[in-house]
Amino acid sequence: MTKLSVNINKIATIRNARGGNMPNVVQCALDCERFGAEGITVHPRPDGRHIRKEDVLALKPLLTTEFNIEGNPKEQFNNLVLQVLPAQVTLVPDAEDAITSNAGWNTIKHKEFLKKTCKMFQEAGIRVSIFVDPDIEMIKHAADCLCNRVELYTEAYAREYAANREKAIEPYFKAAEQAQKCGLGLNAGHDLNLQNLSYFRQTIPWLLEVSIGHALICDALYLGLENTIGAYKRQLI
């Protein structure tokens, strides 16, 4: 079964809007695990607008599932990851002022940088995933960077799903096949939700992990966190 990693950034966004510690980000992460999530994802950004360094440090000794830290591998981010030593780091090329991640890496242009970065984290015992668009060439060159996995950026799939799900999934299936040929593990994330997740998983059954935050937290407003995590897990069977 594909693992569900819950991105808890939006929980931190709610907390930061008011100050204080409500909702309690660490407790929410532990509850996600208790309700069945197989991983917790955070994406700290330099401006600290949601997850903060102190959150990441507080989470590490308490989590019992896989901890995935994603972000742009600049010095501040790298230092935090090497201090925390999560199970996985996901390299995302987002600008500091980006509202959310909006593109995968150009693994040709940035190959030497990514190769060096992958080696640095792997030597510390951290699995490395590179965030990529569903582009066969980008995946081939991601393999040259010596990463362990790629994470497919699924915004286009989610956007086009309602109009024609077969057409929407086609480039992702081809990209997933290429990752498999290259010996890379496969993750996916961005705008996956209860409407489009099951079809993605059924079409690409060797998918190892999905990272879902915004849609899951929105659904939890109506269904409750425990019921929502259960509903997402059922889409991954």
- Give 14-54 pLDDT, tens digit per residue: 999 999 999 999 999 999 999 999 999 999 998 889 999 99
Whether 43 is a known active-site residue: answer yes
Q: Known catalytic residue: 50? A: no
Catalytic-labelled residue, pool 70, 141, 151, 209: 70
Q: Report pLDDT digits (tens) over 205-237.
A: 999 999 999 999 999 999 999 999 999 999 999
Res 97 pLDDT > 80: no
Query: Cβ distance 111 to 144 under 8 Å?
Result: yes
In the chain the first and final C-alpha atoms are separated, in Å, by 6
Q: Among 50, 141, 151, 190, which one carries the catalytic annotation? A: 190
CATH domain 3-235 topology = TIM Barrel (3.20.20)
- What is the model's pTM? 0.95
Burial profile 10-27: b = 16 or more Cβ within 10 angstroms, e = fewer: bbbbebeeeeeeebebbe
Domain boundaries, the chain: 3-235
Cα 172 from Cα 91, distance rounded (Å)? 19
Active site residue 141: no
